[in-house]
Amino acid sequence: MRTLRERVVSAAFRPFAWALLLAFPVAVIAAETPVVAASPAGPAIPVPPKVAPGQRLAAVFRKPAPTTITELRTIETRVKLIVAQVSPAVVAVTLRGGAISGSAVVISADGLVLSAAHVGGTPDRDVVFTFPDGRTAKGKTLGTDHGMDAGLMQITDAGPWPFAPVGDLTGARLSDWVVALGHPGGFEAQRPVVARLGRIIMMTPKTMQTDCIILSGDSGGPLFDMSGRVIGIHSSISTEAEQNFHVPITAFLATWTRLARSENWGTPAIAAGGRGRGGRDAGATGSVVPGGVRIDTVNQTGRAQRVMLQPGDVVLKFNGQGVASPADFLAQLAATEEKLTVTIKRGDRELDLQYTPNSGRGGRGGAAP
What pLDDT does residue 79 have?
92
**pLDDT at residue 84 greater than cutoff 50:** yes
What pLDDT does residue 2 have?
42
Vertex 208: Cα angle to 234 and 129 (nearest 5): 20
d(CA 237, CA 196): 15
**pLDDT at residue 269 greater than cutoff 60:** no
Architecture of domain 1-268: Beta Barrel (2.40)
**pLDDT at residue 131 greater than cutoff 90:** yes
What pLDDT does residue 50 have?
54
Select the more confidently predicted residue: 101 or 70. 70
Average pLDDT, the chain: 77
**pLDDT at residue 64 greater than cutoff 90:** no
Query: What average pLDDT does the segment 10-26 reach?
Result: 35
pTM: 0.65
What pLDDT does residue 14 have?
37
Architecture of domain 284-367: Roll (2.30)
- Residue 189 phi, psi (nearest 5): -65, -30
Vertex 184: Cα angle to 180 and 186 (nearest 5): 130
Vertex 91: Cα angle to 188 and 77 (nearest 5): 85
Q: Which of 8-22, 121-135, 308-322, 352-366 is predicted least confidently?
A: 8-22
**pLDDT at residue 280 greater than cutoff 60:** no
Residues in the chain: 369
Which residues share a beta bridge with 289? Answer: 292
| Secondary structure class of 75 (helix, strand, coil) | helix
> What are the Cα distances from residue 74, in Å, to 2, 33, 66?
28, 26, 9
Q: Which of 114-118, 213-217, 228-232, 301-305 is predicted least confidently?
A: 301-305
d(CA 210, CA 223): 10
Which residues share a beta bridge with 288? Answer: 293
Distance of CA 224 to the CA centre of its chain: 13
Vertex 312: Cα angle to 311 and 313 (nearest 5): 95
Per-domain residue ranges of the chain: 1-268, 284-367
**pLDDT at residue 124 greater than cutoff 90:** yes
Q: What is the pLDDT of residues 219-247, one digit of tens each?
A: 999 999 999 999 999 987 665 556 688 99
What pLDDT does residue 40 have?
42
Distance of CA 366 to the CA centre of its chain: 32
What pLDDT does residue 298 have?
81
Q: Which of 13-17, 52-56, 223-227, 321-325 is predicted least confidently?
A: 13-17
**pLDDT at residue 340 greater than cutoff 90:** no
Q: What is the pLDDT of residues 291-307, one digit of tens each?
A: 888 888 787 667 888 88
**pLDDT at residue 39 greater than cutoff 50:** no
d(CA 250, CA 234): 14
**pLDDT at residue 36 greater than cutoff 50:** no
Q: What is the pLDDT of residues 150-172, one digit of tens each?
A: 999 999 999 899 999 999 898 88
d(CA 275, CA 283): 8
**pLDDT at residue 272 greater than cutoff 60:** no
Query: What average pLDDT does the segment 50-78 reach?
Result: 66
